């Protein structure tokens, strides 16, 4: 329906848009998403007719759009500031566009009443915009734009001026209205949550270019550029080169991931925080939180004398109520390491894949944190494991702590809980930024705990750099 | 915290200095005696004399014609100039030139206009004063409206265009209502300035059509009479009213935006 071809726009030295091409389909809810200054608003203003591109073409239903002045375009814009006329009542504001079309008075009145009812403001028709709340103003702005029945409705940061509660309400409202009136919506936003929740398809902008156009889920799960991986949703990005079965992260070893990139291509591996599973080894004794986890293999060994006793007494509780052992998580963690000691010694690659693949089974021992918990625990494995803790401490080579203990090891730097999700940042030696992990519900992991991180190859996406 | 009393002294001294002459002038206008310096009892006789003075009446009529005409002209032109400067010309030089006549010395403007009228062989009269007053009145209107425009929301005009209004309809239905308080304040300013403007009027008026300030000036040359005091008091009343109205208007404007 709307075809944007090779549109460029420069402001002096700044390139606001560079060779942007997009196709917007009829009836679609389309979002232009990007950080401020990425050119999305310039594109919107070009569509509305307030700016003209230096080069490129825009056609609406096959007809050239750029040659039409703003007031002749079958396109309406809902302004970020709403731009309601302060000297007119709500009804007058809404009627303004229809009056310009010189429609008969009766029809104008009818359509104004209809649209005000649709946005739930019929009672406010006689008020001035100043007398309305933010949410109500936004509805008036929306009503004023859709009453003209445009081919295309542009919305500039439609929800940014609203407080959080009203925002969620309006989000639903916008979607509902879009279905009802059947107008194609193009929304500009810097808020990725807003874009994800509203749009059918999203074009991600960065520095005047379109990075990726996709449906929200695809954008989230299969980012195609480093920018998208970083911008859409929280993500852990690892730098390195493509490698069989994942990414060769240099110091960090091979990290599991998927993507069809030729071996050795510089790439980023994107792993979503909620895809990472934590294995908790507890806070090392006497060393509250200062030492990096990789250097603390001895400390668990100090505790080990206690363990056999406990595990002998209660191997069952360990499986049945995986939450219990958490307090002494050090002991429950050890076994995991031992479950795969031989394989891990064989090859770095293999050992890295193994724990990730096996992780669902092992989760009972890393009691709380695992996203997929204990149900399918292998009783034998857990029963066995407590018997070899002392060994494991000896076995553990300080140089290769990651082996058999997940993809990466690190220490919890911070834990915060909000929105029903625990956000845990883990400092991993050899990586400047902490790795973020998100788990459903309140976590029992404490700051300073030594942890191992697991994820499967499917959970990591390789992005060419 | 209490401020030291001493700090109030310069404040009050300044006000006394500013307003004593005015208070004296107003008081003496009600003087029953003939001397403008010695108060000899209350009387409205000089106001009566004023009403009967044909020269003053003529001057007043001339002044009102000039002030009204130049206010209308300068308001229309000044508003258009301000809109043009704000919306279409992104030039600081043009901006400065637009309001320059407001700060130019009257003498320069007066002589310049006189030379110009002579060059185009225009006869002097009320029309020449009216045009001269329009020149500086327009500058004041432009300055006031321009300020208001910079605070006005440009997206309102875009919204109007977006909703299908032609540029003309947008100007009359959205831009102008937004500017109305500024335009009114500018008009009041132009009117008050024109009423008591002397220097430019002196240069550009014909001897047969003196404005009120010129009439007063010629009267004062032969000594100040209480009649002049009465006239000055009336002018003062007009100015005060206008200033207060203008102030109210700006306050109204601010509370609106």
Residues B182-203 have pLDDT tens digits of 898 899 889 988 988 999 999 9
Query: Is A404 within the bounds of a domain?
Result: yes
Same domain for A430 and A290, yes or no, is yes
Between chains, do A71 and B163 touch, taking CB under 8 Å as contact?
yes
Pairwise pLDDT comparison (A262 vs B158), residue with the higher score: B158
Same domain for A37 and A126, yes or no, is yes
Distance CA B227, CA A275 (A): 95
Same domain for A118 and A160, yes or no, is yes
pLDDT in tens, chain A (465 residues): 899 999 999 988 888 999 999 999 998 999 999 998 888 989 999 999 999 999 999 999 989 999 999 999 999 999 988 999 999 999 999 999 999 999 999 999 999 999 998 888 899 999 999 999 888 998 899 999 999 989 999 999 888 877 787 788 888 888 888 888 888 999 999 988 888 888 999 999 998 899 999 999 888 888 888 888 888 878 888 888 888 878 887 778 888 888 878 888 888 888 888 888 888 887 776 555 444 444 444 444 444 444 444 444 444 444 444 444 444 444 444 444 444 444 444 444 444 444 444 444 444 444 444 444 444 444 444 444 444 444 443 344 444 444 445 778 888 988 988 888 888 989 988 888 888 898 888 888 888 888 888 888 888 888 887
Same domain for A184 and A247, yes or no, is no
Q: Does B161 contact chain A (CB < 8 Å)?
A: yes
Beta-carbon count within 10 A of A12 CB: 5
Please report the pLDDT score of residue A312 as a whole number.
41
Question: Would you give the DSSP letter of residue A7?
Answer: E
A96 to chain B: closest CA residue? B163
Q: Residues of B numbered 166-195 whose beta carbons fall under 8 angstroms of chain A's beta carbons: which are they?
A: 166-167, 169, 173-174, 177-178
Beta-carbon count within 10 A of A459 CB: 20
The 3-state DSSP class for residue A397 equals coil
Residue A140: closest CA among A124, A156, A151: A124
- pLDDT category of residue B133 using cuts at 50, 70 and 90: very high
Residue B155: which of A70, A81, A96 has the nearest Cβ?
A81
B178 to chain A: closest CA residue? A87
Choose the mutation target among A48, A51, A71 for the interface with B, i.e. most B CBs under 10 Å. A71
Q: What percent of chain B has pLDDT over 70?
A: 96
pLDDT at B224 over 80: no
Same domain for A165 and A210, yes or no, is yes
Where among A221, A242, A261 does a domain terminate?
A: A221
Residue A71: which of B161, B177, B256 has the nearest Cβ?
B161
Query: Is A229 within the bounds of a domain?
Result: no
Task: Please check whether residue B202 is in contact with residue B113, taking contact to mean a CB–CB distance below 8 angstroms.
Answer: no
Residue A363: closest CA among A384, A379, A383, A377: A377
Q: Residues of B numbered 127-156 whose beta carbons fall under 8 angstroms of chain A's beta carbons: which are they?
A: 153, 155-156
Domains of chain B: 54-256 (1.10.3720.10)
Same domain for A264 and A293, yes or no, is no
Query: Is A307 within the bounds of a domain?
Result: yes
Please report the pLDDT score of residue B253 as a whole number.
58
Same domain for A260 and A151, yes or no, is no
A150 to chain B: closest CA residue? B163
Give the pLDDT mean for B28-50.
82
Distance CA A142, CA A139 (A): 5
Same domain for A289 and A343, yes or no, is yes
Same domain for A249 and A160, yes or no, is no
A75 to chain B: closest CA residue? B162
Q: Does A237 contact chain B (CB < 8 Å)?
A: no
Please report the pLDDT score of residue B32 as a whole number.
82
Beta-carbon count within 10 A of A308 CB: 15
For A112-162, where are the E strands, in sequence order? 152-156
Domain that holds residue A366: 274-464
Mean pLDDT of chain B: 87
Residues of A in Cβ contact (< 8 Å) with B163: 71, 76, 96-97, 100, 144, 148
Which ipTM was obtained for this model?
0.73
Residues of B in Cβ contact (< 8 Å) with A70: 158, 161-162
Residue A100: which of B156, B158, B163 has the nearest Cβ?
B163
Residues of A in Cβ contact (< 8 Å) with B256: 86
CA distance B152 to chain A (A): 11
Please report the pLDDT score of residue A261 as a whole number.
82
The string of DSSP codes covering A275-289 is G-EEEE--PPTT--S
Same domain for A254 and A285, yes or no, is no
**What is the domain-level CATH number for residue A88?**
3.40.50.300
Please report the pLDDT score of residue A286 as a whole number.
55
Assigned token pair, A45: 């203003």
Same domain for A352 and A392, yes or no, is yes
Residues B169-186 have pLDDT tens digits of 999 999 998 898 889 889
Q: Residues of B numbered 18-37 whose beta carbons fall under 8 angstroms of chain A's beta carbons: which are they?
A: none
Please report the pLDDT score of residue B91 as a whole number.
79
Residues B70-126 have pLDDT tens digits of 999 999 999 999 998 888 777 788 888 888 888 889 899 999 999 999 999 988 889
| Conformational region of residue B3, where left means phi above 0, alpha means psi within -120 to 50, and beta covers everything else | beta
Please report the pLDDT score of residue B250 as a whole number.
66
Query: Is A228 within the bounds of a domain?
Result: no
Query: Is A226 within the bounds of a domain?
Result: no
Task: Please check whether residue A372 is in contact with residue A358, taking contact to mean a CB–CB distance below 8 angstroms.
Answer: no
Please report the pLDDT score of residue A13 as a whole number.
86
Same domain for A439 and A377, yes or no, is yes
The domain tally of chain A equals 3
Please report the pLDDT score of residue A377 as a whole number.
42
A130 to chain B: closest CA residue? B256
Query: Is A227 within the bounds of a domain?
Result: no
Residue B141: closest CA among B79, B72, B98: B79
Please report the pLDDT score of residue B131 as a whole number.
93
Distance CA A32, CA A30 (A): 7
Query: Is A117 within the bounds of a domain?
Result: yes
Query: Is A396 within the bounds of a domain?
Result: yes
């Amino acid at each position: 329906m709307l075809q944007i071809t090779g549109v460029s726009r420069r402001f002096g030295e700044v390139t606001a848009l560079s060779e942007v091409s997009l196709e917007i389909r009829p009836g679609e809810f389309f979002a232009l998403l990007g950080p401020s200054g990425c050119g999305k608003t310039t594109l919107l203003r070009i569509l509305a007719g307030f700016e003209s591109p230096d080069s490129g073409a825009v056609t609406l239903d096959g007809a050239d759009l750029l040659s039409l002045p703003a007031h002749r375009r079958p396109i309406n814009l809902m302004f970020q500031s709403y731009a309601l006329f302060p000297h007119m009542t709500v009804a007058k504001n809404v009627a303004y566009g229809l009056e310009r079309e010189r429609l008969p008075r009766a029809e104008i009145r009818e359509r104004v009443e209809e649209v005000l009812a649709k946005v739930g403001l019929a009672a406010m028709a006689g008020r001035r915009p100043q007398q309305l709340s933010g949410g109500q103003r936004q509805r008036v702005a929306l009503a004023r734009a859709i009453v003209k029945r445009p081919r295309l409705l542009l919305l500039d940061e439609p929800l940014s001026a609203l407080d959080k509660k009203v925002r969620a309400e309006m989000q639903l409202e916008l979607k509902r209205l879009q279905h009802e009136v059947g107008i194609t919506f193009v929304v500009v936003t810097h808020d990725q949550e807003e874009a994800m929740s509203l749009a059918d398809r999203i074009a991600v902008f960065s520095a005047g270019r379109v990075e990726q156009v996709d449906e929200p889920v695809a954008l989230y799960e299969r980012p195609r550029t480093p920018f998208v991986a970083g911008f859409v949703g929280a993500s852990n990005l690892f730098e390195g080169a493509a490698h069989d079965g994942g990414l060769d992260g240099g110091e960090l070893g091979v990290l599991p991931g998927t993507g069809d990139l030729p071996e050795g291509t510089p790439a980023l591996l994107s792993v979503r925080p909620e895809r990472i599973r934590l294995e908790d080894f507890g806070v090392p004794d006497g060393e509250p939180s200062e030492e990096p986890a990789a250097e603390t293999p001895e400390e668990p060994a100090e505790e080990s004398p206690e363990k056999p006793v406990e595990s002998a007494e209660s191997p069952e509780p360990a499986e049945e109520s995986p939450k219990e052992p958490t307090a002494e998580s050090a002991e429950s963690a050890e076994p995991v390491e031992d479950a795969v000691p031989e394989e891990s010694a064989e090859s770095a690659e293999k050992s890295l894949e193994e724990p990730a693949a096996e992780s669902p089974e092992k989760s009972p021992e890393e009691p709380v944190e695992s996203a997929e918990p204990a149900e399918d625990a292998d009783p034998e494995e857990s029963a066995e494991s407590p018997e070899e803790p002392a060994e494991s401490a000896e076995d553990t080579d300080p140089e290769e702590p990651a082996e058999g203990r997940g993809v990466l090891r690190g220490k919890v730097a911070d834990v915060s809980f909000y929105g029903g999700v625990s956000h845990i940042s883990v400092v991993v030696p050899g990586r400047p930024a902490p790795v973020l992990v998100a788990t459903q519900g309140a976590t029992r992991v404490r700051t300073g705990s030594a942890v191992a991180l697991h994820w499967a190859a499917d959970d990591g996406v390789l992005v060419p750099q | 915290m209490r401020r030291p009393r001493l700090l109030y002294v310069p404040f009050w001294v300044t006000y006394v200095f500013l307003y004593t002459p005015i208070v004296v002038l107003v008081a003496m206008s009600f003087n029953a005696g003939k001397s403008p310096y010695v108060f000899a009892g209350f009387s409205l006789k000089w106001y009566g004399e004023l009403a009967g003075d044909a020269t003053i009446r003529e001057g007043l009529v001339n002044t009102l014609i000039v002030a009204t005409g130049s206010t209308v002209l300068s308001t229309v032109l000044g508003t258009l100039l301000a809109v043009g400067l704000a919306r279409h010309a992104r030039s600081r030089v043009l901006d400065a030139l637009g309001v320059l006549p407001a700060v130019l010395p009257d003498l320069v403007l007066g002589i310049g206009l006189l030379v110009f009228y002579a060059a185009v062989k225009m006869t002097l009269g009320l029309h020449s004063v009216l045009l001269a007053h329009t020149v500086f009145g327009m500058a004041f209107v432009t300055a006031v409206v321009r300020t208001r425009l910079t605070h006005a929301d440009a997206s309102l005009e875009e919204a109007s265009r977006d909703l299908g209004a032609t540029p003309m309809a947008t100007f009359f239905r959205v831009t102008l209502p937004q500017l109305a308080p500024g335009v009114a304040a500018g008009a009041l300013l132009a009117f008050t300035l024109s009423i008591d403007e002397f220097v430019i009027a002196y240069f550009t008026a014909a001897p047969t059509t003196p404005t009120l300030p010129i009439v007063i000036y010629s009267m004062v040359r032969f000594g100040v009479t209480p009649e002049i005091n009465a006239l000055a008091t009336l002018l003062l009343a007009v100015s005060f009213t206008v200033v207060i109205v203008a102030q109210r208007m700006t306050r109204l404007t601010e509370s609106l935006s």
